Structure 1
């Protein structure tokens, strides 16, 4: 790549994809930021049931891109998959608005919500998996602008998250959940219009249209059409899994164990083929990181459930006479990501140059330590409780600050590490397994959240004082357990590094 070409800047399609993804994130996070409070305050669900529904939904959302990526590669192409995903997400959001206005035509309001969530899950799978792929396809192999392009693209994701956790959260709690969900749906429609209207800007990317296999016909109908229709059957499956979320746990455990077997066996075969003793060890290391990743994100994702309910009940959110909506406290995370993201990127580069960049296991351990300290901050906040048994808003500010810096230790490493650890033959499977770890983590987050809440063991509503003690005791226990896990990772840093055989 010549210097002249580099100075031309990024492909013009990048900004089209930037704004498309930004508005899609407004849709996804906008619905998610209000979901727990809507379940508890409008549909009158108990804290535990609301957390389990939330965990099942977000778990399936993270699993869906595995299917979406496969369908695009095999049949639909990337552009068609993204547009299908956007349309489905807009429809799903519309049904959730129907739930919020207590629509009782054909279905009751709760079923409007659950069906809408099922449609959103499938739509997100098609959209999320493939718009990032199009970004990568804008650049030729070896183009030095690629990493910078993805950095710009990820800024769009965080701006979308910031808009949803401020504007959508405020509108939803101030004027009614239906307006918040409606605003999220409008965000998705804007993303769809931008993506379709700017299609010529990214037309040079490969694989946008229906694949050759997708064009093949069975009984006069293209495989792409058949595959699309069949995929829609997953909507009622998602509905049933959200409604019967205990079953989803067994499915995730089974899938994880199967993935472990497939990857370790693939590593063994790669070693036999290449006459080495590397790949099986690396796949064992992958399994260890899979479990560590689940641990981190299962606790981090308390933001949408237990931490939001904690903010609603036991945090003094008054600022100069204005009361911040409880869901809006989630804005701290994307705000700090935008503030510190580039600083951390520069820090890793500088540490690498002087040979002080921590190993991957240590980065995971340090990230978990910061996550733990964030939860333990609630015990400090307890020392400044007011007469209404509320801790200061600064408690959540420092909690989310530590959670975000912990996230910045882990998040940028994951996908890059997977591509290095996995044999070429199973690179896609390993990436799917990594997405699965995030799905398992989000489901587990819902299970953990049931341990907190404003209700006692027998379901009775707790007083403000009792609720505060239950929240802070549970959060501090989570913090202490995380510190122990981080210590174990630090102790076993060298053995894990040995399994990685030089992957940094």
Structure 2
């Protein structure tokens, strides 16, 4: 494709290495934010089972509630940014909360002890731990959807570089994850949980400083929609902006309560998902043209179906990490990796394969052969399903610990290839198919269903363990895990086939958007 053939109408004019220069700011900010998030996530299930001595079942449900809430709050954060704050202010506030949350995790407290069938823990430090999670949840709510929205705002509606830009942005996410899952995970497991969590906090601080110093390069594309109205006093002398920030503090307290009541989280996420679909559909049928409405329908279908993918993908931080700890030989010859460091394979594969996938999609696009977004979703579902079925086969080949690391390699490779077919193009799809006035809400809807998937992931992981206390309470039931992984693998493949069948209809309703 020649330079003249690229339609850059509406895109940011100032460029760096062929893309809008604002992409560099988003890349670095999100890289350090993901460094902190994935570093903490890599340690979380092991910290819960080994430090606080929660059972595998209990720890999995806490993990699922936490990761679910992390992806639920961007619905609210996206709305507040669209209507009031603008993405720049929302991202800055979210980053501040994240720094506080990650650094406070470093105060791990004393090791829990087992007294008969009872676990004795420091309740104060357990409360601090849950408060730290609440700060991170709320911070991600203000940051996550809005940093992605900024990336979309850098490109015009017909700029073919958009998918490549999101792939580059996504590679930044996984570069941060790569560094985190190796260094934060390794330091946390080997030298102490507090050191690992503290390093994650330092990473988030770097992300905040980068965005603060270089936000001018966004050239106003992330500013509030009405800056003057945002500063006017509206209640008790407080401006809308200050009220929103105080509301964020209240949200932290609500999240602190919710993350400790996991069943409530599942009900809330399920009901919120149904309500969000209804709101979008009512809006589409009452205030949109036929083209806008049909595009919203396609976006909604893909958002709902991606729930299955993320429920399988997020086993990395829960059941797959516990399996790596308990069942697999992690001595690779040149080095022996810790259980949490096994998660390094996903971002490592992303960093290696993302440029190849971006190049591959561009070449196919030039020849008119690039699969549509619905077809890519179908490919992703089939790949992740095959990965789980192969892993289940390998898991059952030998009894007891010491299983071949090769099977972990297989499932992470298939999950990564599936991820590259779905996630970068999924984020891009939201910005392209959404009505301009709804893009923040639709991005939030994407994360809401991702949130529900994360909760389901925790629930599925809990089915592989036991809820009893005792010396073996964190051990997984390998037989139950094999049966579960086989079943969810088949479900994923079935959904992939359904998406292939629906692709012609959805492609028509996308009205030229690819």
- Scaled by the length of structure 2, the TM-score of the pair is 0.86
Q: Aligned partners of 1:313 and 1:426: how far apart in 2?
A: 46
Higher relative contact order (CA 8 A, sep 6+): 2
> Does the 8 Å contact 1:138/1:205 carry over to 2?
yes
* Structure 2: runs of 5 or more not aligned: 7-12, 113-119
Pick the aligned partner of 2:80 from 50, 60, 71.
71
Structure 1 residues 379 and 262: CA distance shift in structure 2, 3 A: closer
- Aligned residue for 1:403? 415
Q: Does the alignment pair 1:226 with 2:235? A: no
The total of aligned residue pairs comes to 497
Following superposition, the deviation at residue 236 of structure 1 comes to 1.4
Structure 1 residues 188 and 430: CA distance shift in structure 2, 3 A: closer
Q: What do you get for the CA RMSD once the two structures are aligned?
A: 3.4
> Does the 8 Å contact 2:21/2:217 carry over to 1?
yes
Structure 1 residues 150 and 378: CA distance shift in structure 2, 3 A: closer
Residue by residue over 1:301-333, the C-alpha shift from the partner in whole angstroms, topping out at 9 and shown as x without a partner, is 111101111111011111227431001111111
Following superposition, the deviation at residue 417 of structure 1 comes to 2.8
Q: Aligned partners of 1:353 and 1:444: how far apart in 2?
A: 39
Q: Aligned partners of 1:79 and 1:191: how far apart in 2?
A: 13
> Helix, strand or coil: the match of 1:389?
coil
Q: Aligned partners of 1:430 and 1:348: how far apart in 2?
A: 24
Following superposition, the deviation at residue 383 of structure 1 comes to 6.2
Q: Aligned partners of 1:487 and 1:18: how far apart in 2?
A: 34
For 1:463-482, what aligned pairs fall within 5 Å after superposition?
467-482=477-492
Following superposition, the deviation at residue 99 of structure 1 comes to 2.9
- Aligned residue for 2:376? 363
Q: Does the alignment pair 1:82 with 2:99? A: no
- Scaled by the length of structure 1, the TM-score of the pair is 0.87
> Helix, strand or coil: the match of 2:463?
coil
For 1:134-213, what aligned pairs fall within 5 Å after superposition?
134-135=150-151, 150-202=166-218, 205=221, 207=223, 211-213=227-229
Following superposition, the deviation at residue 491 of structure 1 comes to 4.0
Q: Does the alignment pair 1:55 with 2:64? A: yes
Q: Aligned partners of 1:141 and 1:497: how far apart in 2?
A: 17
Pick the aligned partner of 2:353 from 340, 350, 357.
340
- Aligned residue for 1:292? 305
> Does the 8 Å contact 2:284/2:292 carry over to 1?
yes
Structure 1 residues 18 and 428: CA distance shift in structure 2, 3 A: closer
> Helix, strand or coil: the match of 1:318?
coil
Q: Aligned partners of 1:388 and 1:17: how far apart in 2?
A: 45
Residue by residue over 1:227-259, the C-alpha shift from the partner in whole angstroms, topping out at 9 and shown as x without a partner, is 211221011111111111111222122212222
* Structure 1: runs of 5 or more not aligned: none
> Helix, strand or coil: the match of 2:370?
coil
For 1:416-495, what aligned pairs fall within 5 Å after superposition?
416-424=428-436, 426-453=438-465, 455=466, 467-495=477-505
Structure 1 residues 8 and 303: CA distance shift in structure 2, 3 A: closer
